[in-house]
Amino acid sequence: MTDGSDRPTTYVHRALELFADFGDREALVGGGRRLTYVDVAAEVRALASALARGGVRPARCW
């Protein structure tokens, strides 16, 4: 998977691109919560930022 510049893209980057296409549609429902794709993208970004601050980096698989 690449980002158009022949650089490898992570699964997360690709998922966020796809989530943008669905906007305010429901993505996840459960436990009394309803999240849109916008909501899920925000949660993914927040988790990724927290992991990066903690020193976690993507694995090099290529």
Instruction: Please give the model's pTM, rounded to 2 decimal places.
Output: 0.74
> Would residue 2 count as lying in a domain?
no
Domain that holds residue 23: 11-53
> Would residue 3 count as lying in a domain?
no
> Would residue 21 count as lying in a domain?
yes
> Would residue 6 count as lying in a domain?
no
pLDDT greater than 70 at residue 8: no
> Would residue 62 count as lying in a domain?
no
> Count of domains in the chain?
1
pLDDT greater than 70 at residue 5: no
- Return the closest-CA partner of residue 44 out of 33, 55, 35: 35
- Give yes or no for a contact between 1 and 8, defined as CB atoms under 8 angstroms apart: yes
Residue 9: per-residue pLDDT: 72
> Would residue 59 count as lying in a domain?
no
> Would residue 15 count as lying in a domain?
yes
Residue 62: per-residue pLDDT: 55
